[in-house]
Amino acid sequence: MAKTRLACLLTLLSTHCYFNVSAVVLKTNNESPWTNEFDKIELSCLIESISTTNPRIEWKKITNEGPSYVYFDRKISGDLENRAMIREPATLLITNATRLDTAKYRCEVTAADDQKSFDEIVIDLVVRVKPVVPKCSVPKSVPFGKSAELSCVEDEGFPKSQYQWFKNREEIPDDPKTSLKFFNSTYTLNAEAGTLNFIAVRKEDAGEYFCRAKNDAGYSECPPQKMEVYDIDVVGIVLGVLVVAVVLLCITAGICCAYKRGYFSSQKQTGNNYKVPAKGDGVDYVRTEDEGDFRHKSSFVI
Ligand SMILES: *[C@@H]1O[C@H](CO)[C@@H](O)[C@H](O)[C@H]1NC(C)=O
Ligand SMILES: *[C@@H]1O[C@H](CO)[C@@H](O)[C@H](O)[C@H]1NC(C)=O
């Protein structure tokens, strides 16, 4: 009787133990790690339980085009070659991340001797890219009371850049009504699109503007550009047109006078079919031609 009980107990124990060890179970320290471009990053894949001594470990990169091998047959392959290594037991270390590394990565461990012989874990890696200098467009001068659009674009940054605008080194608030300085300005600011739109510019809107593109990885700015605001001066325009008309009149009168005095007529009679020699054959030409004649004709051409 005692013997059977002992056997029972042993069976229970061993069954308990059996279930405990005979399964491969993975875990990670960080399911969604991130790093900046050209930095290192660890994709942690830890084996919580296993009884197989030599499990098969594989990493796959999963993009829209499907999965591809990153670690297979104990070798780093694909575009991570020479940029990554495995740290025991299964953690993937990327030493120089690029923006193209942003993807899901799957750590797969096959343990042939375990009853539950397979487990996998998915890591979502984001490689952040600092914005480059944005392209900014600021109108040089805008007539008073007219609309104006300032734009700022930056396409390299990841995650996508957000935009801030500055006027004379001071940040322009999202809503002009929140600031005493900008209170009467008519702009709307779009931080997603990078645009600063004035419905009607005021004299006070003139100044030096620049834009900053920023994301989690950092920021970049374009150089300040001046925007001037001018009055449409009707009197000025009329005066300007008058001055131009007077100048044109004088020029016309001058040409007429010159005609009458015969400045142009004397040259008409020398208008034969003489051709200017092509550049480069000048030396031969001068030798074969009568010099006096040549000078006379060439002076006409000039
Ligand atoms: C990382 O890779 C970039 C090109 O992808 C290269 O220019 C840079 O020198 C590399 N940095 C290191 C530390 O290897
Ligand atoms: C805004 O306009 C109002 C009315 O024209 C004026 O009284 C006020 O001083 C202006 N505020 C600023 C900050 O220019």
Nearest alpha carbon, ligand 1 atom 6? 38
Give the Cβ contact number of residue 59 at 10 Å. Answer: 24
Q: Residue 240 — very low, low, confident or very high, per pLDDT cuts 50/70/90?
A: confident
pLDDT score at 296:
46
pLDDT band at 259 (very low <50, low <70, confident <90, very high): confident
Convert the chain into a string of H (helix), E (strand) and C (coil): CHHHHHHHHHHHHHHHHHHHHCECEEECCCCCCEEECCCCEEECCEEEECCCCCCEEEEEEEECCEEEEEEECCEECHHHCCCEEEECCCEEEECCCCHHHCEEEEEEEECCCCCECEEEEEEEEEEEECCCCCEEECCCEEECCCCEEEEEECCCCECCCEEEEEECCEECCCCHHHCCCCCCCCEEEECCCCEEEECCCCHHHCEEEEEEEEECCEEEECCCEEEEEECCCHHHHHHHHHHHHHHHHHHHHHHHHHHHCCCCHHHHHHCCCCCCCCCCCHHHHHHHCCHHHHHHHHHHHC
Q: Which is the closest atom of ligand 2 to the Cα of 180?
A: 13
pLDDT in tens, 15-55: 444 445 589 999 999 999 999 999 999 999 999 999 999 99
Span from the CA of 184 to the centroid of ligand 2 (angstroms): 6
From the alpha carbon of 181, which atom of ligand 2 is closest?
13
Question: Is the CB of 40 inside a 6 Å radius of any atom of ligand 1?
Answer: no
Separation CA 9–CA 43 (nearest Å): 43
Ligand lying nearest the CA atom of residue 183: 2
38 lines ligand 1 (CB under 6 A): yes
Which of residues 224 and 287 earns the better pLDDT score? Answer: 224
What is the pTM (predicted TM-score) of this model?
0.65
* Cα–ligand 2 centroid distance for 233 (angstroms): 24
- The residues near 253 (Cβ < 8 Å, ≥ 6 apart) are none
Indicate if ligand 2 lies below 6 Å from the C-beta of 184.
yes
Tell me how far apart the alpha carbons of residues 153 and 144 are, in angstroms, rounded to a whole number: 26
Is the CB of residue 98 below 6 angstroms from any atom belonging to ligand 1? yes
Would you place residue 250 in the very low, low, confident or very high pLDDT band (cuts 50, 70, 90)? confident
* Residue ranges of domains in the chain, CATH in brackets: 20-128 (2.60.40.10), 135-230 (2.60.40.10)
Residue 282: pLDDT over 50 = no
User: Whole-angstrom Cα distance, residue 101 to residue 103?
Assistant: 6
Torsion of CA 276, 282, 285, 289, to 10 degrees: 70
- Ligand 1 nearest atom to the CA of residue 38, by list position: 1
Query: What's the confidence (pLDDT) of residue 170?
Result: 95
194 alpha carbon – ligand 1 mean position (Å): 31
Distance CA 151, CA 163 (A): 10
User: In the structure encoding, which two tokens stand for residue 33, read together?
Assistant: 């790690």
CA-to-CA separations, 235 to 143, 204, 231, 232, in angstroms, rounded? 15, 23, 11, 9
> Ligand 1 centre and the CA of 96: distance in Å?
6
Q: Could you read off the pLDDT of 108-130 as tens digits, one per residue?
A: 999 999 999 999 999 999 999 99
Tokens of 111: 């343990």
In angstroms, rounded to a whole number, what is the distance separating the alpha carbons of residues 136 and 225? 9
Contact 298, 285 (CB under 8 A): no
Among the bound ligands, name the one nearest to the CA of residue 180.
2
Shortest-distance Cα residue to atom 8 of ligand 1: 38
Distance 94 CA to ligand 1 centre (A): 12
What is the pLDDT, as a whole number, of residue 241? 85
- pLDDT exceeds cutoff 90 at 285: no
Residue nearest to atom 13 of ligand 1 (CA): 96
Q: Which of 183, 186, 204 to mutate to test the pocket of ligand 2 (most atoms within 8 A of CB)?
A: 183
Mean per-residue pLDDT for 216-226?
A: 96
**Ligand 1 centroid, distance to 238 Cα (angstroms):** 63
Confidence at residue 57, expressed as pLDDT on a 0 to 100 scale:
96
In this prediction, residue 168 carries a pLDDT of 96
256-263 mean pLDDT: 78
Q: What is the pLDDT of residues 124-183, one digit of tens each?
A: 999 999 999 999 999 999 999 999 999 999 999 999 999 999 999 999 999 999 999 999
Average pLDDT, the chain: 85
Instruction: Report how far Cα 134 is from the mean position of its chain's Cα atoms.
Output: 7
